[in-house]
């Protein structure tokens, strides 16, 4: 098998990898939003075995760890390996207004979805006005 190399293309790939690594957030991109009385975090973890995902909360710090492994195949010699493998870690600092004791996690189609209810004291409430 013969592979052609192009010095300019190789330099472009190297540059892209350096800048991507500098702007990447530990490889786990996320969206965080509030919908009603629940706060949600959706984190991209493509190709991760759900058994390797570890979600912990220590005080107000949510930590997600997951591992992406390349399938070991006997007799296979990889020519190109661009997909990142290894451990991914992401930490999120949570507000005191979230009830982390009731945090729920679900993994579907490469997305880890976390839902955290808002505490009762943080919900909007109506204040009654007393006439004098």
Q: How do 54-58 and 61-68 pair as beta strands?
A: antiparallel
Residue 55 lies in a domain: yes
Residue 3 lies in a domain: no
Residue 22 lies in a domain: no
**Do 41 and 52 touch, CB atoms closer than 8 A?**
no
* Dihedral Cα 101, 51, 113, 28, nearest 10 deg: 110
Residue 14 lies in a domain: no
Mean pLDDT by 10 residues, the chain (132 residues): 57 65 62 94 94 94 92 85 87 92 95 93 76 83
Residue 41 lies in a domain: yes
* Euclidean distance between CA atoms 64 and 89, whole angstroms: 6
pLDDT of residue 79: 86
pLDDT of residue 82: 83
**Do 64 and 54 touch, CB atoms closer than 8 A?**
yes
Domain hosting residue 74, numbered range: 27-122
Residue 128 lies in a domain: no
Residue 31 lies in a domain: yes
CATH number of the domain residue 90 falls in: 2.60.40.790
Count of domains forming the chain: 1
Residue 16 lies in a domain: no
User: Which residue from 7, 26, 21, 131 is spatially nearest to 89, judged by alpha carbons?
Assistant: 26
């Amino acid at each position: 098998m013969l592979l052609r190399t192009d010095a300019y293309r190789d330099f472009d790939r190297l540059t892209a990898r350096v800048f991507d690594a500098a702007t990447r957030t530990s490889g786990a991109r996320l969206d965080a939003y509030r919908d009603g009385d629940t706060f949600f975090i959706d984190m991209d973890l493509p190709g991760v075995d759900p058994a390797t995902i570890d979600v912990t909360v220590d005080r107000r710090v949510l930590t997600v760890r997951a591992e992406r492994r390349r399938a070991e195949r006997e007799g296979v010699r990889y020519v190109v390996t661009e997909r990142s493998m290894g451990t991914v870690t992401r930490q999120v600092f949570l507000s005191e207004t979230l009830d982390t004791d009731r945090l729920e996690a679900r993994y579907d189609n490469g997305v880890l979805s976390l839902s955290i209810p808002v505490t009762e004291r943080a919900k909007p409430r109506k204040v009654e006005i007393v006439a004098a």
